[in-house]
Chain A
Amino acid sequence: MSIRYPATAMLLASLLSSCGGSRSTDLRPEVRIGSKKFTESVVLGEALTSLAASAGARAIHRRELGGTRILFDALVRGDIDAYPEYTGTLRLEILHEGGPRNDEEVSRELARRGLAASRPLGFRNDYALGMTRQRAQEVSVSSISDLARHPDLELGLTSEFLDREDGWPGLARRYGLPHQGVRGLDHDLALRGLITGDLDVIDLYTTDAEIREYDLALLEDDRGYFETYEAVILYRLDLARRSPEALAALLSLEGLIDEPTMVRMNAEAKIEGRSEAEVAARFLGEKLDIVSEPPASDALSRLLRHTGEHLVLVSLSLALAIVVALPLGVFAARRPRTGQVVLGVTGVLQTIPSLALLVFMIPLLGIGSAPAIAALFFYSLLPIVRNTCSGLRDIPGPLLESAEALGLPHRFRLLRIELPLAARSILAGIKTAAVINVGTATLGALVGAGGLGQPILTGIRRNDVGTILLGAVPAALLALLVQGLFELLERRLVSPGLRATRR
């Protein structure tokens, strides 16, 4: 390509630097707390955030960041400084290679990565299998061994539990469980399935508020399979240097939360529908006399913020994709052989499941909007490259020859003849990419990118259809809006001479 893009290069450079984190004149040390996407973790995350803030730090809560892998990687990279974790998970899931077994080995392994774990917070949140009491009595199951006699029971397990070393694979081996076709699904959806009777057995956390609320029966772990999962704070060692006060404040949570307290807090958030910030604030007020204002934000400003974040994700990724995919499409049209390779590669990118692509991006780009924008960028490439290429290839040969016979130079032909002739196809490709992006960007919330996925995630977690709709409806409207915008653009950019000959 002989065309240079100085302006584009500058835009790219400024985008990349802005993704690297904003500089600020605030001299307070920044402390970033992470939490997993289940209520207990979010409540603890809120509590840790308030504690860090009370110690004078600029505390930021990156809430609901997907699962263990995402959080741990983010901690190792320094995208977050601390998050609530469980000892069993640490031993079996995170540090399983080499298999450290005792506490000393665990802390040595963590220190090697620049990390440390606090002493236990005071409660355990073990894995357990549970059924509704009524169903358990019907089939007379009271322990996990009993399940082996009932291969027809429907099991629904959280996806994480299904794959984890300390989860289903080991459990099925230990007890010789014959169940086939075990479904993997979100924890909160599994709970709902259990209560409605679609599922017979699910995995539970022993601090789940629903256990008491719905009178669930926990199956006895009669062969002692499950680990103990004591809640701890996992933090970066360099926090002690950067903000010793904040670290001390975080660690003041050690031994402070007993199991009934945690169950109660979970119930307040999940069953009474209070915000996690409010629940955490009440707890800190009672136990530590820390007065923290949960950030009051009304629904409208939240909606605007989420929509704004969403638009940034979609528009930045789309702009980058156009800049890259348009020249690629031109190239693919000019060189059919290499073009096949380009189309193949972008096609393969398209088939990577969005969640997987997001998680792949984290080791490279950390958490936040950068990995989400990168993933959306990759998804946008194929439709734009393909449509640019086919739009150019569909131009009738005699027209191309006429342009050449007129004595017009290459670049002029491309910009004034070929691209305008392919404009409708190219625009259609960009439109497809944009509409897909609006939908896929909702997954960005899993890696801390915010956006309209945030209320959807929160709503699913709290079984709150209203909150889900607060994300889903604006996302759908946004998709329609984008569609409309492109119709308008088509009217502007595609010559009337081409519109009338719509094929």
Chain B
Amino acid sequence: MPCRPVPVYCLTMIRLSGIGKVFGSLTALHELDLDLLQGRTTALLGPSGCGKSTILRIILGLIEPEQGRVEVDGTRVTAATAPGLRRRMGTVIQSGGLFPHLTGRENVTLLPRHLRLDPQRIESRLQELLGLTRLPPSLLDRYPHEVSGGQAQRLALMRALMLDPDILLLDEPLAALDPLVRAELRDDLGTIFRKLGKTVVLVTHDLVEAVELGDTIVLMREGRVVQEGGLKDLRAHPSDPFVTRFLGAWRGLE
């Protein structure tokens, strides 16, 4: 149900072509091609070590691939362009990545304060995002160790959305949460994604998350894309026995 059909007018927001990445003797990505569409949520799904987090890092320009090129909204990602492009991408990682020495407010407003944006604008954006992420305002004055795991992830999401980026990158945002909190935040994330209509890249090893949140699922294994498409496509026309096996694990939950 959550998988909407791909509209024909969709533009490519992020394009990876022929990306190869090697860590020592381990090849993390094998000449990988991937188009991520504007305004849609793409779930990079696969077992751990399949290279899905590496893709996020390459999109952010945190690591450089040995081969291939990455374009974000038509601009090639290089050491020179990456810092500017990062301002157009919001990132949330597994444990939030909130800085423990800063309060929630300081964490969330770090970047706009660094850019010397108008404090009133920052404040109104803050209120807006509190509503969106359903966080009580009192949380902003707490330090990260004083909030729960789910709240920390909501704060991290606020921080990622602060400058209203075009792209949202989430690396296992729910993995460290206990099941109840995870389900609740997953639903909220789905609502938020639909409301904002941003280009979202979600890295996960959890099929439920990928199906619930992703418009498109990109199933990966050992640095290669095995198959991409909606859940129905994957089910109906598995390109590989691995797809069937991976989806099979979820069948029991239906």
Contacts and interface: CB of A to CB of B under 8 A. Distances in A.
B101 A420 contact: yes
Contact of A412 (B62, B94, B101, B114): B114
A333 interface: no
A258 interface: no
Interface in A37-52: none
Contacts of A407: 83-84, 86-87, 111
A402 B97 contact: yes
A401 B58 CA distance: 12
Interface residues of A, number: 24
Contacts of A21: none
B62 A405 contact: yes
A498 B101 contact: yes
Contacts of B93: 398, 401-402, 405
Interface in B100-114: 100-103, 110-111, 114
A448 B165 CA distance: 65
A497 B100 contact: yes
Main secondary structure of the interface of A (DSSP, over half): helix
A498 to B, nearest CB: 5
A405 B86 contact: yes
Contacts of B114: 408, 412, 416
A495 B60 CA distance: 29
A212 to B, nearest CB: 70
Interface string A388-408: 000000000011011111111
Contacts of B103: 497
B144 interface: yes
Contact of B97 (A399, A412, A421, A496): A399
Interface in A229-273: none
A489 to B, nearest CB: 16
A500 B91 contact: no
A423 B100 CA distance: 12
Contacts of B146: 500
A33 B102 CA distance: 59
A409 interface: yes
Interface in B201-250: none
A417 interface: yes
A501 interface: yes
Interface in A478-503: 494-498, 500-501
Contacts of A409: 83
A497 B102 contact: yes
Given A399-B99, A497-B102, A408 B110 contact: yes
A501 B99 contact: no
27 contacts: A398-B93, A398-B95, A401-B57, A401-B93, A401-B97, A402-B91, A402-B93, A404-B60, A404-B62, A405-B93, A405-B97, A406-B86, A406-B159, A407-B83, A407-B86, A407-B111, A408-B110, A412-B114, A416-B114, A421-B99, A423-B101, A496-B143, A497-B143, A497-B144, A500-B143, A500-B145, A500-B146
